[in-house]
Amino acid sequence: MFEIDTWQEILDTIRANRMRSFLTAFSVAWGIFMLIVLLGSGQGLSNGVAYQFRDDAVNSIWVFPGQTSTPYKGLQPGRRVQLTNEDHDEIATGVGGVDHITSRYSIGGTLQVRYREETTTFDVRSVHPGHLFLEKTIITEGRFINPLDIREYRKVAVLGGKVVKALFHDEPPIGRYIEINGLAFKVVGTFTDEGGEGELEKIYLPITTAQRAFGGANKVNQIMMTTGDEPLARTAAMAKDVHRRVAERHTFSVDDERAVYVRDNNEEFDRFMKLMAAIRMFVWVVGLGTILAGVVGVSNIMMIAVRERTREIGVRRALGATPWSVVSLILKESILITGVAGYVGLVLGIAVLEIAARVMPPGGFFQRPEVDLGVAIQATLLLIAAGTAAGFFPARRAGALRPVEALRNE
The 3-state DSSP class for residue 151 equals helix
| Residue 180's pLDDT band (cuts 50, 70, 90) | very high
Query: Nearest 5°: phi and psi at 79?
Result: -80, 135
More confident residue, 190 or 15: 190
Segment (H or E) for 280? helix 265-308
Question: CB-based contacts of 179: which residues, under 8 Å, 6+ apart?
Answer: 112, 113, 114, 115, 185
| pLDDT > 90? residue 237 | yes
pLDDT at 323: 63
pLDDT at 22: 78
337-341-345 Cα angle (round to 5): 165
Highest mean pLDDT of the ranges 56-60, 126-130, 399-403: 126-130
Query: Nearest 5°: phi and psi at 176?
Result: -80, 165
| pLDDT > 90? residue 156 | yes
Buried b (16+ CB within 10 A) or exposed e, 185-224: bebbbbbebeeeeebbbbbbbbbbbbbebbebeeebbbbb
Q: Please state, in angstroms and rounded to a whole number, the distance separating the CA atoms of residues 220 and 82.
A: 7
| DSSP, res 107 | P
Question: CB-based contacts of 213: which residues, under 8 Å, 6+ apart?
Answer: 155, 183
Q: What is the mean pLDDT of the chain?
A: 81
| pLDDT > 60? residue 409 | no
Instruction: Sort 333 into a burial class: Cβ within 10 Å, 0-12 / 13-18 / 19+.
Output: buried
Are the CB atoms for 33 and 345 separated by under 8 Å? yes
| pLDDT > 50? residue 280 | yes
Are the CB atoms for 387 and 334 separated by under 8 Å? yes
More confident residue, 143 or 299: 143
pLDDT > 70: percent of the chain: 79
pLDDT at 1: 41
Instruction: Sort 164 into a burial class: Cβ within 10 Å, 0-12 / 13-18 / 19+.
Output: buried
Model confidence pLDDT, tens digit, residues 27-60: 778 878 888 888 887 777 777 766 666 566 778 9
More confident residue, 340 or 333: 340
pLDDT > 90: percent of the chain: 36
pLDDT at 2: 46
| Residue 302's pLDDT band (cuts 50, 70, 90) | low
Question: CB-based contacts of 41: which residues, under 8 Å, 6+ apart?
Answer: 283, 366, 369
Provide the pairing of β-strand 60-65 with 156-160: unpaired
Model confidence pLDDT, tens digit, residues 368-379: 777 777 777 777
Mean pLDDT, to the nearest integer, of 202-222?
93
| pLDDT > 90? residue 281 | no
Are the CB atoms for 221 and 105 separated by under 8 Å? yes
What is the total residue count of the chain?
Answer: 410
More confident residue, 147 or 286: 147
Buried b (16+ CB within 10 A) or exposed e, 15-38: eebeebbebbbbbbbbbbbbbbbb
119-125-127 Cα angle (round to 5): 140
115 strand-pairing partners: 118
Of the candidates 377, 379, 359, the residue with the CA atom closest to the CA atom of residue 368: 359
Provide the pairing of β-strand 123-127 with 183-193: unpaired
pLDDT at 74: 86
| Of the listed ranges 152-161, 187-196, 259-268, 354-363, the one predicted with least confidence | 354-363
pLDDT at 94: 92
| pLDDT > 70? residue 226 | yes
Are the CB atoms for 329 and 14 separated by under 8 Å? no
| Residue 144's pLDDT band (cuts 50, 70, 90) | very high
**3-class SS letters over 364-375:** CCCCCCCCCHHH
Q: Please state, in angstroms and rounded to a whole number, the distance separating the CA atoms of residues 23 and 10.
A: 16
Segment (H or E) for 127? strand 123-127
Query: Nearest 5°: phi and psi at 220?
Result: -135, 155
